[in-house]
A = this chain, B = another copy of it.
Amino acid sequence: METAPVETRAPSIGALKLAQAQSLLESSGLDAWLVVVRESAERPDPILRFFFDLDFTWTTFFLVTRDWSAALVATFDAPDLVRLGLFDEVVTYREGPRAQLLELLRKRDPARIGINFSIDDALADGITAGLRDYLAESLAGTPFASRIVSAAPLLSVLRGVKLEEERGLVTLAVNETELMFDRVRDRIRVGQTARQIAGEFHVEAARGGVRTAWPKHHCPTVTVGAKSPIGHVGPSEEPVTLNCAVHVDFGIILNGYCSDLQRFWYVPPAGGSGAPEPVRRAYQTIVDAIDLAARSLIPGALGWEDDEKARKLLLSRGYPEYPHALGHHLGRAVHDGGGVLGPRWERYGREPFEPVRVGNVFTLEPSIHLEEHGLISLEEDVVVGPKGAEFLSRFPRELPILRLP
């Protein structure tokens, strides 16, 4: 077995994350972790990107215990996996995997086998429904049938607690994104439309050789003034004018890790010195809410508690609640799994009840919508330390005024 890594960009992350997964099994109440995929180019399990950038056509199993790991894979899917050298064993099959799967399980005899499904955590919900049925069918009549449980407790920490190397990669992505914002900001002109500003961000991404953090059709989301539609939506033909708010939500994927930032600029009227008072007051409220949320992001706090602090601050100043969460995890995925800094609304399920942990990377993004001026919001990226959050992004506390010729 050769050991040359296939993933050249971040060669050691796969091995480090596998070791992290192994170290988390016991505290997650698991003896083994079993990942199952097929046609993974079409139906990916998003956890696999942590380990390699490979796809598997036929049903493929990855079995991990505290001190051992194995892959069971169809012959034609095997060569790159063998070359990767990540797993202690790579077992191949031709006609079907069931007999060898049972043999692998018998050899280790795990009492609790976690697989990737979760009602609440979309990023821990890696296995498809039919594939879980297939696994149940394959294990029927064996002791393993009753040992399958959710691996969500493992995945929540594996995704959510970033290794030092991962925090470094998110920081690189954030820094690069801040520079892209700077350059596009300097090219904004009166008459330019939201769609054209979005195009400038795509130029930046192309020059940097990076993908946008979410599908580029609505990355960035650009809101110009009060008439642009709000939400995950493609940019409109609304032009920048004098006396106008410009808001952008943008992120990139650099070395496999995401950034996610929102910036806000105000274009003053001719001869005017700054933004109108309602805009200044809303911006200051956003800044205060982010500051409060960051200070309160203490290990052990629950996600909803942090959201509630920011939400109540806005309410106390007479603004309505923002119709979304305060923030989300950020990492390999832009909406990374394992909890949310969000309200206890039905759509968030149990996610707001996940505790904050050292090494979590979150976005903080409260928003205010002013009927007359549009969307006023910032989004900062922070990492949780033992005593609260540190900002990875610049956090522009002064409202940026954009004087255009």
Contacts and interface: CB of A to CB of B under 8 A. Distances in A.
Q: Say whether chain A's binding surface is mostly helix, strand, loop, or mixed.
A: loop
Contacts of A59: 347
A345 B95 contact: yes
A118 B130 contact: yes
A117 to B, nearest CB: 4
Nearest to A59: B347
Interface stretch (A200-208, A212-220, A302-310): A212-220
A53 interface: yes
A46 B46 contact: no
A191 interface: no
Interface in A117-157: 117-134, 137, 150
A357 interface: no
A345 B94 CA distance: 9
Interface string A343-367: 0011101000000000000000000
Interface stretch (A22-30, A227-235, A284-292): A227-235
Kindly state the interface size class of chain A when it binds its partner.
35 or more
Given A39-B335, A79-B231, 18 more contacts: A39-B122, A42-B46, A42-B333, A54-B217, A55-B214, A57-B335, A58-B347, A74-B347, A75-B231, A76-B323, A78-B231, A93-B347, A95-B346, A97-B347, A118-B130, A119-B131, A119-B134, A122-B128
Interface of A: 6, 38-39, 41-44, 46, 53-55, 57-59, 74-80, 93-98, 117-134, 137, 150, 214-215, 217-218, 229-234, 323-324, 333, 335, 345-347, 349
